[in-house]
Amino acid sequence: MVSLPTDEIAHDFPPFFRVYKDGRVERFHNYVYVHPSDNFNTGVRSKDVNNNSARLYLPKITEKEQKFPLLIYIHGGGFSIESAFSSGHDKYLHSIVTKANVVAISIDYRLAPEHLLPTCYDDSWSVIRWTSLHVEMCDHLILTEETVMEPWLKDHVDFSRVFLAGESAGANIVHDMVVRASASEKPLGDGFKIAGIALIHPFFGNDEVDEYCSFIFPECEGLDDPRLNPAAHLRLLSSLICRKVMVFTAEKDFLRERSLTYYDALKKSGWNGEVEIMETQGEDHVFHLLEPNCEKAALLMKRLVEFFNEKI
């Protein structure tokens, strides 16, 4: 006898997803997938790489051996919605690459609740590790199907100027990636240098999302887990290998307080770097993606571009 789907709800977490008792997952937001493309107006080109785990963007080339800083971008969406391949994020990355003149790799990780955390962290780390293999020293590696070199990275990236950035849950993942990269054994090698990270409206949790975080991350150590609330772990903050951190907040963001706490903790941790914060008045969480053409989104973009082009 075939059992019919039931409408009985087991877990309900708006605005992200609902889980029914028969195991079905209903997302409240479904993104529009777009293919990689070449923009003939800006000269930016894109393609999917590393078994479709990321989308790579190349700015307009004016010299044959031209080198650019590298931006590694990680999308948000509460760890459970959105994609690097969505129309919104693809358009946003095209814009960043055009304005900042960087090579960018936008990571696509598997989503909760089908893939519980820490899957998103491990997927993102895998892409970063693959990217780091393109440093000059890796000419001596024995290549496999998993470590095939990507010419856009190999030929056009200055690996002494790597930046990581992301919004919301993506900013959370970015911080964990830098913590992993800061381990004493130098897992990404000497030639792969993370100059700075930009955290846009980071998802560092609060009491309102405690139940949600516990559901998608059953292995976590509560809301003070170092991956959810890094401000509670000064030793990890003090050892970050990047030289600059840029934190973006929004006045009406329900996650704003943890962003401010992170900023204060990083300043007090003994970390040997520079941290800056920019708050947008009158705006809510990730407003710059919801209204990318508004004046305040343009100001946020301008500061991002400046950050990626600063001499660090």
Task: Give the residue numbers annotated as catalytic, written as ranges.
Answer: 168, 253, 285
Q: What is the amino acid identity at position 4?
A: L
Instruction: Report the 10 Å Cβ neighbour count for 63.
Output: 7
From the list 286, 296, 271, 268, the residue with the least C-alpha distance to 203 is: 286
Sign, CA dihedral 118-123-129-131, equals: negative
> In whole angstroms, what is the distance from residue 38 CA to residue 40 CA?
6
Distance CA(46)–CA(41), nearest Å, equals 14
Residues 45 and 34: their CA atoms lie apart, in Å, by 14
* β-strand pairing of 157-167 with 194-200: parallel
Asked whether the beta carbons of 253 and 201 are under 8 A apart, the reply is yes
Helices marked H in the chain — which ranges? 87-100, 119-132, 151-156, 169-181, 210-216, 234-238, 256-268, 287-290, 295-309
Q: How far is CA 127 from CA 146, 147, 267, 279, 294, in A?
A: 11, 11, 30, 30, 32
ω into 113 cis (within 30 of 0): yes
Please name which of 38, 46, 40, 12 lies closest in space to residue 26, comparing C-alpha atoms.
12
Look at residues 218, 19, 28 and name the one whose alpha carbon lies nearest to residue 116: 218
* DSSP one-letter code for 81: S
Burial 23-43 (b: 16+ CB within 10 A, else e): eeeebeeebeebeeeeeeeee
